[in-house]
Amino acid sequence: MPRHRPRGDRGLERLRSFTAENHAGKLAFVAAALALFLPVPAFAHASDRGHVLLLPTGYYLVGGAFAVAVSFLVLALLPPAALDRFWRRRLALFTLGDTARTVVSLLSFAGFAVLVAAGLFGSRDPLSNPLPLVIWTLLWAGMVLAQGVLGDVWSWLNPWYGPWRVVTRLLGKDGGEGKGASPLSRPGCWPAVILFLAFAWFELVYPAPDDPARLAWAAGLYWLVSFLAMLAFGYEDWSRRGEFLTLFFAMVARFAPLGQDETGRLFLCWPGAKLLAAEPLPPSGVAFLLLALSSVSFDGLSKTFFWLGLFGINPLEFPGRTALVGIGSFGLVLTFILLAAAFLLAVLLGQRLAGVAKSGGAGLLVWSIVPIALAYHFAHYLTVLLVDGQYAIVALSDPFSLGWNLFGTADMQVEAGLVAGAASALWLWNFQAGAIILGHLLAVLVAHGLAWRLEPNPGRAALSQFPLTLLMVAYTVFGLWLLATPTAG
Amino acid sequence: MDKKPFDLSKSRLTRRTALKGLAAGAGLAAAPGFVRYAQAQSSAPIKIGFQSHRTGIGAAYGRWYEKTTAAAVKAINAAGGINGRPVEVVIEDDGTDPGRGAEVVGKFATQHKTDIVFGTLFSHVVIGSAPAAGEAKMPYFVVSEGHHVASTKLNRYVFQPGITDVKSQIQSMAPWIAANAGKKVTQIFPDFAFGYDHRDYLPPALKAQGADVIAQIAIPPTESSFTKYFPQIPAETEVIYHVMVGPAVLTFVKELGEFYGSNRPQLFGFIDSLEAVDINSPGLEFLDGSHFWEGSPRYAQADDSAAQKAYRAAVGIDDNGAAVGDPKDVSTAAHMFGCWETLYVVKKAMEDAGYKGPEDRAKLVEATEALTEFAEGPEHPQGPKTFNGKIHQCFGIQNISKVEGGKLKVVHKTKIEDGLYEPEGDYPKQAL
């Protein structure tokens, strides 16, 4: 083909393309104008939420609220010391050394590097490329829950610890984990709050969080910046104040029925029991935990007919994320402010009501949010885990779309039907609603135990919990409503 | 036609190999200094940019569009590709978002350097992306069924050759409704653009058949309970024509059933309301005996052609229209055939144009405009079609199916002529 045209043709070609461009520009304008009034068939899917709409979800809302309220009354009548003793029981297991931790983390880092490369050079399809599937489904949706059940496995699996050990060794640094006095002690964990907000915005508001290449850049840069911060401020210090994943994972791991004491011995305990021994969090820590819960709540809220209706958006003709960046950003921050205000108000009111003089209650009581955050996380991401988890298993076998079959799963059929239809909707709803209600029951229990630490008088401790319990009852209803109300998509 | 249906049983191509390769190619093409010598070779693949609703509200449809596309590409490649060149599909997710749709078209043009862009379903994404396709002079083959292409208000690079547009679909329902269901029709539709197509196109079509729309009930899109609207249905109504969409459809049907009991008017709907939803779901019992438009039948029919059977097997749907091996995963059968057929139109047009590469895109546009009809067969299993090059739109037969014994049984196939209308413009008059 004439790829090299005679020079004489060029002028004509340029003229042609110029007029065509003008024409195209005009057309673009016309089409944009048309988009406002042209009849637009939409295919708003009669999704599985349609089956939920036929379930008697109202009973669950009432029943859930009732269960949480009653649990408060029952706890108020129980002798706190006995309950505390019972709850603190531990079953010692065996000692687990951390010699392999560096190696495991290095392997994890290698895996991460392969995933980032896959994001840059693998398939452009977010359901075939392993990077978005691993980051959003396995890591964000799955790892949080794994931490809540198994304890802090992330301290082994994170991709920073191993490389940090190796580099500090090579640089001749002491390799200590920076547990001493820190230049960062003053900002608390505000860096992590800001970074988590950025993460949540990227996940929930940014138009293309699943785009493999963009995610590769975002995740790769985040790894690098965190790594440099760890070199500068110490691994431990940055992990507690700046690296939001490690901080959040460590917080939810405190709920797990499996733990490890200072001597390295593993033990079994009641779920949530480790929260009782937690140190009060600084204001930044309170903000962090509340932001984590509010962001997942907003993700649910942002798709509801109710929320879209507030802004005059037709949910059956959902305009796409690009058109909703402003509303989404606003909503993400608004949800956080509302939750934080309600929480602080409830704690303050409770202390007023019971005449508790001791300040700093919020820093301790905020730990009771952990079971709720875990419950929301489970309920919210359950279907994603079940379906996209399968896509992840397939994609990992062929990360670069080169026809590989590393784990023998490359041709596995993804069964989307697992979460489809009325029968699935029924059991999914029951699991989700059960998790929300159980999470709040445990939250009431944890708050009860923590309140007793703040106020040894059982009567006053219970009274101080009254407003917080009301908040938890309300949040139970809100959580169930999010799962039951009509949503877009 | 004496073409034989595809026999893919001996093909060793898997779904993944049909769509593989694009990744490394994309990476290399993006690398600076990479000279695409391969372009000059006749064996270099034809690259099709698939603008796919992988995420966002269109994802349930996007999944099946992807499956159908993969199956068609596999079949085309197994039979020698296009002009002897293999077909390679590059998927980019548009998030069912018009903003990203335009961006993705740009990426196909400049980064992946695909030969065409293909596969968009949601109309607002088509409308948002069409200007970018026009600017890049990128042939853009959509599978959307919207009237936007045929309205000639987009641009010369946009085609819809694989699925009939909604105006034609609605119009072609009128003769059957008037002759078989009743002459007094009440329409219930969601109060936005999707519903307005039905509100505007059905009454004149019925009028021409001696029937009338006696009431039009528009339901606010955010409504989730419908009982209060039903008293507006005139008592003399013989047919309720309903096109509700969204999660509340099941509630709508259930409440309509509670309102009427066993003594109801005829019901006629578009399967769009229940695409990818099991027709036997609780709440839908009231639909038994009612009728639906279907582009391509969800359920296997007794008189299915060999081509239809081969198509269903290739895509991987069972006799109930669900994924083989995953019976709860109900397909979007009424629409997704359009991906299969569109790819064969692209193949035909590229072969007619002697298409060699992106420099021949204008020739491809002209060759597509010159097409006039597509015979029923392996390449067009849904049925025969005509193509109007002036408005870049195909016209085909439609199915009217009755819900019977928990299945949709085709009781009538419309004629192509039932859905024809006067062209509203002339794309070939626009400069290329």
Res B32: pLDDT: 37
Which of A31, A486, A488 lies at the smallest CB-CB distance from B57?
A488
Instruction: Say whether A413 and B325 touch across the interface (CB within 8 A).
Output: yes
Top residue of A3, A19, A37, A40 to mutate, by most chain B CBs within 10 Å, is: A40
Res B15: pLDDT: 44
Which of A41, A122, A486 lies at the smallest CB-CB distance from B145?
A41
Mean pLDDT of B349-366: 97
Interface of B with A in 25-54 (CB under 8 A): 26-27, 52, 54
Residue B38 has pLDDT above 50, yes or no: no
Q: pLDDT tens, B170-216?
A: 999 999 999 999 999 999 999 999 999 999 999 999 999 999 999 99
Task: Give the least confident one: A78-82, B126-130, B292-296.
Answer: A78-82
**Distances B272 to B174, B321, B334, B405, B407 between C-alpha atoms, Å:** 18, 15, 8, 20, 16
Q: pLDDT tens, B79-113?
A: 999 999 999 999 999 999 999 999 999 999 999 99
From chain A, the residues in CB contact with B248 under 8 A are 50, 53, 486
From chain B, the residues in CB contact with A487 under 8 A are 247
Query: What are the average pLDDT values for consecutive 10-residue runs of chain A, which has 489 residues?
Result: 33 34 43 40 62 94 93 86 84 87 96 98 96 97 96 95 95 62 68 97 96 97 97 94 96 94 90 91 95 95 95 93 97 98 94 78 92 95 95 96 94 92 94 96 91 84 90 95 91
From chain B, the residues in CB contact with A45 under 8 A are 57-58, 60-61, 245-247, 275-276
Burial class for B80, CB neighbours closer than 10 Å (0-12, 13-18, 19+):
exposed
Interface of B with A in 191-210 (CB under 8 A): 192-194, 196-197, 200
Please tell me the pTM assigned to this model.
Answer: 0.89
Longest dimension (CA), chain B: 74
Interface of B with A in 136-165 (CB under 8 A): 137, 144-148, 151, 153-155
Res A172: pLDDT: 83
CATH of B166-294+398-419, one of 3.30.70.1060, 3.40.50.2300, 3.40.1160.10, 3.40.1390.20: 3.40.50.2300
Res A184: pLDDT: 52
B106 in contact with chain A, both atoms CB, cutoff 8 A: no
Round the CA-based radius of gyration of chain A to a whole number and report it: 26
Interface of B with A in 390-429 (CB under 8 A): none
Mean pLDDT of B229-251: 96
Nearest CA in chain A to B151: A38
Interface of B with A in 293-312 (CB under 8 A): none
Domain boundaries, given as residue ranges, for chain A: 43-89+287-489, 92-269
Res A66: pLDDT: 93
Residue B26 has pLDDT above 60, yes or no: no
Res A182: pLDDT: 53
ipTM of model: 0.88
Which of B251, B328, B356 lies at the smallest CB-CB distance from A424?
B328
B274 in contact with chain A, both atoms CB, cutoff 8 A: yes
CATH of B15-164+333-396, one of 3.40.50.2300, 3.55.10.10, 3.30.2130.10, 3.30.40.230: 3.40.50.2300
Res A82: pLDDT: 81
Residue with tokens 């991987």: B316
From chain B, the residues in CB contact with A46 under 8 A are 245-247, 249-250, 273-277
Domain boundaries, given as residue ranges, for chain B: 15-164+333-396, 166-294+398-419
Distance to chain A for B427, nearest Cα, Å: 12
Residue B281 has pLDDT above 90, yes or no: yes
Mean pLDDT of B271-285: 94
Top residue of A120, A125, A383 to mutate, by most chain B CBs within 10 Å, is: A125
Residue B71 has pLDDT above 90, yes or no: yes
Distance to chain A for B3, nearest Cα, Å: 31
Distance to chain B for A123, nearest Cα, Å: 4
pLDDT exceeding 90 applies to what percent of chain B?
89
Crossing angle of helices A421-454 and A80-87, rounded to 10°: 120
Res A19: pLDDT: 35
Chains A & B: contacts with CB separation below 8 Å: 295
Instruction: Say whether A24 and B131 touch across the interface (CB within 8 A).
Output: yes
B220 in contact with chain A, both atoms CB, cutoff 8 A: no
Token digits of residue A181: 């006095």
B40 falls in which pLDDT band (50, 70, 90)? very low
